[in-house]
Amino acid sequence: MENTLLPILTLDDLKREARDFARRESSHHEALLFGVTDGKAIGTYFEHKFRRYLQTSFTFDEGSSARGIDFPELGVDMKVTSLRQPQSSCPFRSARQKIYGLGYSLLVFVYDKTDDPSARTGQLTITHTIFVDSARTADFQTTTGLRRIIDNAGNMDDIIAYLHERFLPVDEITAQDLAEEILATPPQVGLLTISNALQWRLQYRRVIEHAGQVDGVHRLL
């Protein structure tokens, strides 16, 4: 039997298939999800199912959370989060991510889960499917504050003081290097809320509110 080579997954393919899969999954009743409240377990279920869905039509690099991001060749990580508390975590690489973005784009599925006790099934209604360009994955408050300082003719000392006020995990040398870069290349305003931790805590409420209304944040569904 002759093997048919599947086409390589492109970014446009990923966005289109994410929208179609979200619509299909929203009407699916799953016994494995009945009574499940653990967001991580729900996210894992959804991510694995979406991967299997893509594998039937496309060839792509099998990324994973252990290896970094889900679609490394496309520079995209997938996030699945509850509408009630739309947030997730991601690996901390450097404080620079909070200013210039994570270094990759985000495909965010936001779900509202309900259970059917009579059928003993769970249902994930995908309320939002959003693609966030890498340039928009910085922290909103940090980037807007820095832009304000620059617009007010701020200098390196002003920026270094602001970085410390925001409790960015930087030493004096790193803060000075960042300040020089910020003055030379002002950051684009990010749309995430990123909390300092051993892992970044990403919050998506602003992304949900602004999807489709600003450049770089695309509402797929």
What digits encode the pLDDT tens for the residues 55-69? 999 999 876 555 579
Which pLDDT score, from 0 to 100, does residue 6 have?
92
pLDDT band with cut points at 50, 70 and 90 for residue 197: confident
Residues 36 and 124 in one domain: yes
Tens digit of each residue's pLDDT (9 = 90 or more) over 103-114:
999 999 999 999
Residues 81 and 170 in one domain: no
Residues 73 and 146 in one domain: no
By the 10 Å C-beta count (0-12 exposed, 13-18 middle, 19+ buried), 17 is classed as: middle
Q: Are 122 and 168 in contact (CB under 8 A)?
A: no
Residues 65 and 153 in one domain: no
What is the number of structural domains in the chain? Answer: 2
Asked if residue 2 is part of any domain, the answer here is no
**Ramachandran angles phi, psi of 7, nearest 5°:** -65, 155
Q: Are 114 and 125 in contact (CB under 8 A)?
A: yes
**What are 66's two structure tokens?**
């252990």
Q: What is the overall mean pLDDT for the chain?
A: 93
Asked if residue 96 is part of any domain, the answer here is no
Residues 156 and 210 in one domain: no
How far is residue 215 from each of residues 80, 85, 198, 207, measured CA to CA in Å? 22, 24, 30, 11
The whole-model pTM stands at: 0.91
Beta bridge partners of residue 128, listed in sequence order: 110
In this structure, how many other beta carbons lie within 10 angstroms of the beta carbon of residue 110?
A: 24
Model confidence at 2: pLDDT above 90:
no
pLDDT band with cut points at 50, 70 and 90 for residue 4: low
| Domain residue limits at 146 | 140-189
Residues 117 and 75 in one domain: yes
Residues 38 and 117 in one domain: yes
Residues 148 and 184 in one domain: yes
Residues 121 and 157 in one domain: no
Tens digit of each residue's pLDDT (9 = 90 or more) over 26-52:
999 999 999 999 999 999 999 999 999
Residues 178 and 120 in one domain: no
Residues 18 and 60 in one domain: yes
